[in-house]
Amino acid sequence: AYLALDDLLPALGLTGEWDSVEHVYSITTPSTTIKLVPGNMYLRVGGQVVEMVCPARFIDGRLRVSEEFARKQLPKLTKISLVYNNLDPGAKDEEEEEDDPTERMFAELLRHKESPYEEDEDREKVIAIDPGHGGTDFGTICIHGVKEKAINLDVAQALAREIRMNMGLPVIFTRDKDYAATRSERGQAIEHQGADLLVVLHAQVSQGTQARGITLFVRPQEASGRSWGLARKMAEALQAANLQVNGIYAVPLLPLSEGDLPTVMVEMGYLSNMQDLALLGGSEMPNVARAMMQGIRNFVERR
Protein backbone atom coordinates (compact mmCIF):
# COMPACT_ATOMS: atom_id res chain seq x y z
CA ALA A 1 0.00 0.00 0.00
CA TYR A 2 1.08 3.58 -0.62
CA LEU A 3 0.25 6.56 1.59
CA ALA A 4 -0.14 10.13 0.33
CA LEU A 5 2.45 12.44 1.87
CA ASP A 6 -0.03 15.30 2.10
CA ASP A 7 -2.11 13.09 4.41
CA LEU A 8 0.78 11.55 6.33
CA LEU A 9 2.94 14.59 7.11
CA PRO A 10 0.26 16.78 8.79
CA ALA A 11 -0.58 13.87 11.08
CA LEU A 12 3.05 13.95 12.24
CA GLY A 13 3.17 17.72 12.57
CA LEU A 14 5.51 17.98 9.59
CA THR A 15 5.33 19.96 6.38
CA GLY A 16 6.39 19.16 2.84
CA GLU A 17 6.94 21.21 -0.29
CA TRP A 18 7.22 20.22 -3.94
CA ASP A 19 9.71 22.05 -6.15
CA SER A 20 8.29 21.55 -9.62
CA VAL A 21 11.39 22.87 -11.37
CA GLU A 22 13.95 20.88 -9.41
CA HIS A 23 11.72 17.80 -9.27
CA VAL A 24 12.43 17.48 -5.54
CA TYR A 25 10.08 17.05 -2.58
CA SER A 26 11.36 18.48 0.72
CA ILE A 27 10.13 17.34 4.13
CA THR A 28 10.94 19.78 6.93
CA THR A 29 11.57 18.25 10.34
CA PRO A 30 12.60 19.92 13.62
CA SER A 31 16.20 18.82 13.12
CA THR A 32 16.81 18.56 9.37
CA THR A 33 15.38 18.57 5.86
CA ILE A 34 14.69 15.39 3.93
CA LYS A 35 14.77 15.64 0.14
CA LEU A 36 13.46 12.94 -2.16
CA VAL A 37 13.00 12.55 -5.89
CA PRO A 38 9.99 10.44 -6.92
CA GLY A 39 11.11 7.28 -8.66
CA ASN A 40 14.60 7.49 -7.16
CA MET A 41 15.78 4.90 -4.63
CA TYR A 42 17.84 7.45 -2.69
CA LEU A 43 16.95 10.44 -0.56
CA ARG A 44 19.08 13.12 1.06
CA VAL A 45 18.93 13.73 4.80
CA GLY A 46 20.93 16.84 5.59
CA GLY A 47 24.30 16.05 4.03
CA GLN A 48 23.82 12.29 3.91
CA VAL A 49 22.40 10.03 1.21
CA VAL A 50 20.08 7.26 2.43
CA GLU A 51 18.65 4.37 0.42
CA MET A 52 14.86 4.05 0.59
CA VAL A 53 13.12 0.73 1.09
CA CYS A 54 10.94 1.69 -1.89
CA PRO A 55 10.92 4.90 -3.96
CA ALA A 56 8.12 7.44 -3.72
CA ARG A 57 5.58 7.34 -6.55
CA PHE A 58 2.93 9.57 -8.04
CA ILE A 59 -0.37 7.69 -7.98
CA ASP A 60 -3.65 9.37 -8.88
CA GLY A 61 -1.93 12.75 -9.00
CA ARG A 62 -0.60 12.53 -5.42
CA LEU A 63 2.92 11.83 -4.23
CA ARG A 64 2.90 8.69 -2.10
CA VAL A 65 5.39 6.65 -0.09
CA SER A 66 5.23 2.97 0.71
CA GLU A 67 3.65 1.73 3.92
CA GLU A 68 6.99 0.16 4.83
CA PHE A 69 8.78 3.50 4.47
CA ALA A 70 6.15 5.19 6.65
CA ARG A 71 6.36 2.53 9.36
CA LYS A 72 10.10 1.82 9.42
CA GLN A 73 12.20 4.57 7.87
CA LEU A 74 10.30 7.80 8.37
CA PRO A 75 10.18 7.54 12.20
CA LYS A 76 13.96 7.02 12.31
CA LEU A 77 14.65 9.89 9.93
CA THR A 78 12.34 12.34 11.71
CA LYS A 79 12.83 11.02 15.26
CA ILE A 80 9.04 10.98 15.61
CA SER A 81 7.19 7.94 16.90
CA LEU A 82 4.61 6.63 14.46
CA VAL A 83 1.97 4.01 15.12
CA TYR A 84 0.30 2.92 11.88
CA ASN A 85 -2.19 0.12 11.44
CA ASN A 86 -3.51 -0.95 8.06
CA LEU A 87 -7.10 -1.86 8.91
CA ASP A 88 -7.59 -3.70 5.63
CA PRO A 89 -4.24 -5.31 4.74
CA GLY A 90 -5.82 -7.90 2.45
CA ALA A 91 -7.50 -5.38 0.19
CA LYS A 92 -5.78 -4.35 -3.00
CA ASP A 93 -4.92 -0.71 -3.25
CA GLU A 94 -6.93 0.70 -6.16
CA GLU A 95 -4.04 2.85 -7.25
CA GLU A 96 -1.70 -0.13 -7.41
CA GLU A 97 -3.97 -1.86 -9.90
CA GLU A 98 -3.35 0.91 -12.39
CA ASP A 99 -0.25 1.44 -14.44
CA ASP A 100 1.58 4.24 -12.69
CA PRO A 101 1.59 7.05 -15.29
CA THR A 102 4.71 8.67 -13.89
CA GLU A 103 7.26 8.28 -11.14
CA ARG A 104 7.59 11.98 -10.71
CA MET A 105 5.48 15.09 -10.87
CA PHE A 106 6.28 17.23 -13.87
CA ALA A 107 8.10 20.53 -13.95
CA GLU A 108 6.40 23.87 -13.39
CA LEU A 109 3.75 24.61 -16.00
CA LEU A 110 4.34 28.31 -16.48
CA ARG A 111 1.43 30.58 -17.27
CA HIS A 112 1.03 33.69 -19.36
CA LYS A 113 -0.71 36.85 -18.18
CA GLU A 114 -3.06 36.93 -21.16
CA SER A 115 -3.77 34.40 -23.87
CA PRO A 116 -2.14 35.47 -27.15
CA TYR A 117 -4.68 33.42 -29.06
CA GLU A 118 -7.38 35.76 -27.80
CA GLU A 119 -5.34 38.87 -28.62
CA ASP A 120 -4.18 38.36 -32.18
CA GLU A 121 -4.78 35.17 -34.12
CA ASP A 122 -2.69 36.34 -37.09
CA ARG A 123 0.56 37.30 -35.39
CA GLU A 124 3.55 34.96 -35.47
CA LYS A 125 3.48 32.49 -32.62
CA VAL A 126 6.46 31.96 -30.31
CA ILE A 127 7.17 28.45 -29.02
CA ALA A 128 8.86 27.98 -25.63
CA ILE A 129 10.71 24.80 -24.66
CA ASP A 130 11.73 24.03 -21.09
CA PRO A 131 14.41 21.29 -20.90
CA GLY A 132 14.26 20.05 -17.31
CA HIS A 133 17.23 20.12 -14.91
CA GLY A 134 20.73 21.27 -15.91
CA GLY A 135 24.09 22.15 -14.40
CA THR A 136 24.60 20.51 -11.02
CA ASP A 137 21.02 19.25 -11.16
CA PHE A 138 21.47 16.06 -13.17
CA GLY A 139 17.88 14.87 -12.90
CA THR A 140 17.80 11.10 -13.03
CA ILE A 141 21.09 9.25 -13.45
CA CYS A 142 20.31 5.87 -14.86
CA ILE A 143 21.55 3.05 -17.07
CA HIS A 144 25.17 3.47 -18.21
CA GLY A 145 25.42 6.74 -16.28
CA VAL A 146 23.16 8.64 -18.68
CA LYS A 147 22.00 11.93 -17.15
CA GLU A 148 18.45 13.10 -17.72
CA LYS A 149 19.55 16.73 -18.05
CA ALA A 150 21.53 15.85 -21.20
CA ILE A 151 18.65 13.91 -22.78
CA ASN A 152 16.25 16.78 -22.10
CA LEU A 153 18.52 19.37 -23.69
CA ASP A 154 19.37 17.22 -26.73
CA VAL A 155 15.70 16.59 -27.51
CA ALA A 156 14.85 20.26 -26.88
CA GLN A 157 17.46 21.39 -29.40
CA ALA A 158 16.25 18.84 -31.95
CA LEU A 159 12.65 19.95 -31.41
CA ALA A 160 13.65 23.59 -31.88
CA ARG A 161 15.35 22.76 -35.19
CA GLU A 162 12.24 20.96 -36.42
CA ILE A 163 10.01 23.90 -35.46
CA ARG A 164 12.25 26.46 -37.14
CA MET A 165 12.71 24.43 -40.32
CA ASN A 166 9.15 23.17 -40.77
CA MET A 167 7.02 25.85 -39.13
CA GLY A 168 9.23 28.91 -39.55
CA LEU A 169 8.47 30.03 -35.99
CA PRO A 170 10.83 31.47 -33.38
CA VAL A 171 11.76 29.24 -30.44
CA ILE A 172 12.89 30.28 -26.98
CA PHE A 173 14.53 28.11 -24.32
CA THR A 174 14.40 28.34 -20.56
CA ARG A 175 17.98 27.06 -20.78
CA ASP A 176 19.99 26.47 -23.94
CA LYS A 177 23.14 25.00 -22.41
CA ASP A 178 24.14 22.81 -19.48
CA TYR A 179 23.47 25.16 -16.56
CA ALA A 180 21.01 25.23 -13.71
CA ALA A 181 18.08 27.61 -14.15
CA THR A 182 15.92 28.59 -11.20
CA ARG A 183 12.15 28.61 -11.29
CA SER A 184 12.20 32.41 -11.45
CA GLU A 185 14.70 32.46 -14.32
CA ARG A 186 12.65 29.96 -16.32
CA GLY A 187 9.50 31.99 -15.77
CA GLN A 188 11.19 35.24 -16.78
CA ALA A 189 12.57 33.71 -19.98
CA ILE A 190 9.07 32.70 -21.02
CA GLU A 191 7.21 35.85 -19.99
CA HIS A 192 9.75 38.41 -21.19
CA GLN A 193 9.95 36.88 -24.66
CA GLY A 194 6.20 36.53 -25.10
CA ALA A 195 5.76 32.78 -25.47
CA ASP A 196 2.46 31.54 -26.90
CA LEU A 197 2.78 27.94 -25.76
CA LEU A 198 5.17 25.92 -23.66
CA VAL A 199 6.45 22.36 -23.92
CA VAL A 200 8.25 21.04 -20.82
CA LEU A 201 10.59 18.11 -21.42
CA HIS A 202 11.58 15.45 -18.89
CA ALA A 203 12.36 11.76 -18.80
CA GLN A 204 11.51 9.40 -15.98
CA VAL A 205 12.52 6.11 -14.41
CA SER A 206 10.74 3.11 -12.98
CA GLN A 207 11.76 0.75 -10.22
CA GLY A 208 11.82 -2.03 -12.80
CA THR A 209 12.96 -2.07 -16.41
CA GLN A 210 9.70 -2.95 -18.16
CA ALA A 211 7.82 0.37 -18.01
CA ARG A 212 8.24 2.42 -21.17
CA GLY A 213 6.51 4.97 -23.36
CA ILE A 214 5.65 8.66 -23.49
CA THR A 215 3.25 10.29 -21.03
CA LEU A 216 1.79 13.79 -21.31
CA PHE A 217 0.52 16.02 -18.50
CA VAL A 218 -1.64 19.12 -18.21
CA ARG A 219 -3.14 21.09 -15.34
CA PRO A 220 -6.43 19.72 -13.95
CA GLN A 221 -8.20 23.01 -14.72
CA GLU A 222 -7.06 22.66 -18.33
CA ALA A 223 -8.64 19.24 -18.83
CA SER A 224 -10.89 20.74 -21.50
CA GLY A 225 -8.85 23.82 -22.44
CA ARG A 226 -5.98 24.75 -24.75
CA SER A 227 -3.37 22.78 -22.83
CA TRP A 228 -5.46 19.65 -23.25
CA GLY A 229 -5.91 20.46 -26.93
CA LEU A 230 -2.15 20.80 -27.37
CA ALA A 231 -1.53 17.55 -25.49
CA ARG A 232 -4.08 15.71 -27.61
CA LYS A 233 -2.53 16.91 -30.88
CA MET A 234 0.94 15.93 -29.66
CA ALA A 235 -0.25 12.50 -28.52
CA GLU A 236 -1.90 11.88 -31.89
CA ALA A 237 1.25 12.87 -33.77
CA LEU A 238 3.46 10.70 -31.57
CA GLN A 239 1.17 7.72 -32.09
CA ALA A 240 1.14 8.35 -35.84
CA ALA A 241 4.94 8.05 -35.71
CA ASN A 242 4.53 4.60 -34.12
CA LEU A 243 5.70 5.80 -30.71
CA GLN A 244 4.10 4.39 -27.57
CA VAL A 245 1.92 6.94 -25.77
CA ASN A 246 0.67 5.98 -22.33
CA GLY A 247 -1.94 8.71 -22.14
CA ILE A 248 -2.66 12.29 -21.09
CA TYR A 249 -3.05 13.00 -17.37
CA ALA A 250 -4.10 16.00 -15.31
CA VAL A 251 -1.69 16.75 -12.45
CA PRO A 252 -1.73 19.66 -9.95
CA LEU A 253 0.84 22.42 -10.35
CA LEU A 254 2.08 25.53 -8.58
CA PRO A 255 1.73 28.44 -11.04
CA LEU A 256 4.59 30.92 -11.39
CA SER A 257 2.51 33.75 -12.79
CA GLU A 258 -1.04 34.74 -13.42
CA GLY A 259 -2.96 34.04 -16.60
CA ASP A 260 -3.07 31.07 -18.92
CA LEU A 261 -0.38 29.69 -21.20
CA PRO A 262 -1.11 26.48 -23.15
CA THR A 263 1.38 24.10 -21.52
CA VAL A 264 2.15 20.42 -21.82
CA MET A 265 4.71 18.51 -19.81
CA VAL A 266 6.11 15.54 -21.76
CA GLU A 267 7.73 12.66 -19.92
CA MET A 268 9.51 11.38 -23.02
CA GLY A 269 10.21 7.87 -21.82
CA TYR A 270 11.75 5.70 -19.13
CA LEU A 271 15.52 5.87 -18.91
CA SER A 272 15.35 2.66 -16.89
CA ASN A 273 14.13 0.90 -20.05
CA MET A 274 16.73 0.04 -22.69
CA GLN A 275 14.34 0.63 -25.62
CA ASP A 276 13.34 4.09 -24.44
CA LEU A 277 16.93 4.96 -23.61
CA ALA A 278 18.05 3.92 -27.09
CA LEU A 279 15.18 5.90 -28.62
CA LEU A 280 15.98 9.12 -26.76
CA GLY A 281 19.75 8.82 -26.83
CA GLY A 282 20.32 7.29 -30.25
CA SER A 283 19.76 7.85 -33.95
CA GLU A 284 15.96 7.64 -33.63
CA MET A 285 15.75 10.66 -31.32
CA PRO A 286 15.09 13.12 -34.19
CA ASN A 287 11.95 11.12 -35.01
CA VAL A 288 10.62 11.83 -31.51
CA ALA A 289 11.38 15.53 -31.93
CA ARG A 290 9.77 15.56 -35.38
CA ALA A 291 6.60 13.92 -34.07
CA MET A 292 6.33 16.44 -31.23
CA MET A 293 6.80 19.26 -33.73
CA GLN A 294 4.01 17.85 -35.87
CA GLY A 295 1.69 17.83 -32.88
CA ILE A 296 2.55 21.45 -32.09
CA ARG A 297 2.04 22.34 -35.74
CA ASN A 298 -1.36 20.67 -35.86
CA PHE A 299 -2.38 22.59 -32.74
CA VAL A 300 -1.16 25.98 -33.98
CA GLU A 301 -2.57 25.59 -37.50
CA ARG A 302 -5.96 24.27 -36.42
CA ARG A 303 -7.17 27.81 -35.81
Domains 2-97 and 116-301 equal at CATH topology level: no
Q: Is the pLDDT of residue 216 over 70?
A: yes
Confidence of residue 249 (pLDDT cuts 50, 70, 90): confident
Q: What is the three-class DSSP state of 137?
A: strand
To the nearest whole number, what is the mean pLDDT of the chain? 80
Q: Smallest Cα–Cα separation from 300: which of 223, 198, 214? A: 198
Q: Is the pLDDT of residue 110 over 50?
A: no
The CATH label, of 3.90.1200.10, 3.40.630.40, 3.40.50.300, 3.40.50.2300, for the domain at 116-301 is: 3.40.630.40
Locate the domains of the chain by residue range.
Answer: 2-97, 116-301
Q: What is the three-class DSSP state of 35?
A: strand
pLDDT digits (tens, 9 = 90+) for 50-96: 888 788 887 766 788 888 888 888 888 877 755 444 434 444 444 33
pLDDT digits (tens, 9 = 90+) for 3-16: 888 888 887 788 88
Confidence of residue 121 (pLDDT cuts 50, 70, 90): low
What confidence score (pLDDT) does residue 213 get? 96
> What CATH architecture applies to the domain 2-97?
2-Layer Sandwich (3.30)
- Pair 8, 72: CB distance under 8 Å: no
Q: What is the three-class DSSP state of 9?
A: helix
What confidence score (pLDDT) does residue 32 get? 87
pLDDT digits (tens, 9 = 90+) for 171-199: 999 999 999 888 778 888 888 788 899 99
Q: Give, rounded to a whole angstrom, the gap between the first and last alpha carbons of the chain.
A: 46
Has this prediction a pTM greater than 0.75?
Answer: no
Please state, for a pLDDT cut of 90, what percent of the chain lies above it.
37
Q: What is the mean pLDDT of residues 39-47?
A: 79
Q: How far is residue 196's CA from residue 187's CA, in Å, rounded to a whole number?
A: 13
